[in-house]
Amino acid sequence: MARLPFELTRIAGTIWVVYAPLLLLGGLLSRMDTAERYYVQLVVFAIASALGATAGVKAFANRPWSRVVLLWLSWASAVFWLSSALSLPASESLFPAFVGVIFLLLAVFLHMVEPRSRRPEQ
C-alpha cells in the first residue's frame, strides 16, 4: 500500500480546527427527550470538539500523536454521520451522508499517512 507524506496531517488538522466549534455548536443546539441525554451528548460533543481542536493545532506543529487522535476522531465522526444518514428518510439523508463520506475519506487518508519518526533524520 502506498504511503502518503506526513504533511497531509496538516490538512486533516485544518478540517478539524474548523469542524470542532461546529461540533460543539451542534451539541449545544440539539434537542433531546430528557435533560440527562442532552447533558451526556453535550459532554461527548465537548470532549470530541476539544480533542479535535487540540490535535488539529498540534498537527501544524508536526506532533506524531496528532495523526492518531485525528484518525480515531475521523472514524468516530464518519460512523456518527453515516449512521445518522441511515436513520433518516431518503429526502433528508443527503447532507449527513455527504459529511460522513468526507470523514470516512479523511480517516482512510490518515491511515495511509507515513508515521513521523521520533528519531531525527540523519
Cα angle 106-37-56, degrees, rounded to a multiple of 5: 25
pTM of the model: 0.82
Q: What is the pLDDT of residue 117?
A: 60
Has residue 119 been placed in a domain?
no
73 in a domain, yes or no?
A: yes
pLDDT in tens, 61-104: 888 888 899 999 999 999 999 998 998 888 788 888 999 999 99
Q: Structural domain of residue 56, as residue ranges? A: 8-111
67 lies in some domain: yes
Structural domain count of the chain: 1
What does the pLDDT look like over 23-75, one tens digit per residue?
A: 999 889 888 889 999 999 999 999 999 999 999 999 888 888 888 999 999 99
Whether 46 is covered by a domain: the verdict is: yes
Note whether residue 28 is domain-resident: yes
CA distance 109 to 91: 29
Sequence-separated (6 or more) residues with CB below 8 Å from residue 105: none
